[in-house]
Amino acid sequence: MKIVFRCDPALLDLLPRPVAARQALPDWLRAMPRKAYSEVHERDIRTVKQCPPFVDAMSHGFMVLLPCDVHVERGMFSWAWELPPLTVEEHPSSPISFHAAAQISGTPFHDGHSSALKFNSFWTIELEEGWSLFATHPVNRDDLPFRSLTGLVSADRFTDVGINFPAIWLQPDFQGVLPKGTPVAQCFPVPRVQSTLIFEGLSHERSLAYSKLVKEVMLTPGIYRKRFRAKPDQSSGQ
């Protein structure tokens, strides 16, 4: 899968580039223990740091990053970001804009008066034919003071302008800085095909395999990682 990112030539050496999600794992994941004491089990047990599906989901795809520091003061957003003269007309120059509150009316995250954020994109994204871009909040990142909304874009066709990422601000009393490089959306290509759902009972052979694997999982730590996990491919940027 080749993913092509393009930006205004004047910004090519200024913008943070999207990065593989595994390069943007949070400090709390790196710092957390691999084991922790469980009062229920009365012994140390493995934490989610040793759960490959948990970590692989956080490492999947790529992250779009905030292009500059954004200062937040109880719902007021500001930034000091001096850009060179841009060469592309109608190009955004601010890292954030807003959706009117009415645009999210009727959704469970509408509080009746607050606008939704919109993280502006300074990169266009082009996928190969037949693929769409799934964009969502950075996985398992409830530590961030916003929640990016999930969207699916036909990014093999919609390639001439950037994809913006709407979000809900969760902490009205927040005072501080969203630093440059904060991941604002986690994205990955998905094939644009219709799935066929098939339902059937377990055969005798599959029932035996089910019981056998359950016993092995209970008795052998790390069996999924050792026998079944397909490690993510290593991507490169040019």
Task: List, as one string, the DSSP characters of the chain.
Answer: ---EEE--GGGTTTSPPPEEGGGG--HHHHHS-SEEEETTTTEEEE-GGG-HHHHHHHHSSEEEE-SS-EEEETTEEE---PPPPPSSTT---SSEEEE-GGGGTTSTT--SSPPEEEE---SEEE--TTEEEEEESPTT-TTSSEEEPPEEE-TTT--SSPPPEEEEE--TT-EEEE-TT-EEEEEEEEE---------PPPHHHHHHHHHHHHHHHHSTTHIIIII--PPPPP---
Q: How far is CA 156 from CA 63, 128, 137, in A?
A: 18, 6, 21
pTM greater than the 0.85 cutoff: yes
pLDDT tier, 220 (very low <50, low <70, confident <90, very high otherwise):
confident
Average pLDDT over residues 28-41: 93
Class of domain 4-78+92-200 as given by CATH: mainly beta
pLDDT at residue number 21: 97
62, 18 Cβ separation under 8 angstroms: yes
- CA 156 from centroid of its chain's CA atoms: 19
Cα-based torsion angle of the residue sequence 218, 222, 227, 230 in order, rounded to the nearest 10 degrees: 130
Domain boundaries along the sequence of the chain:
4-78+92-200
pLDDT at residue number 102: 83
| Angle (nearest 5°) at CA 57 between 226 and 212 | 35
d(CA 217, CA 228): 11
pLDDT (tens digit per residue) in 40-82: 988 998 999 999 999 999 999 999 999 999 999 988 999 999 9
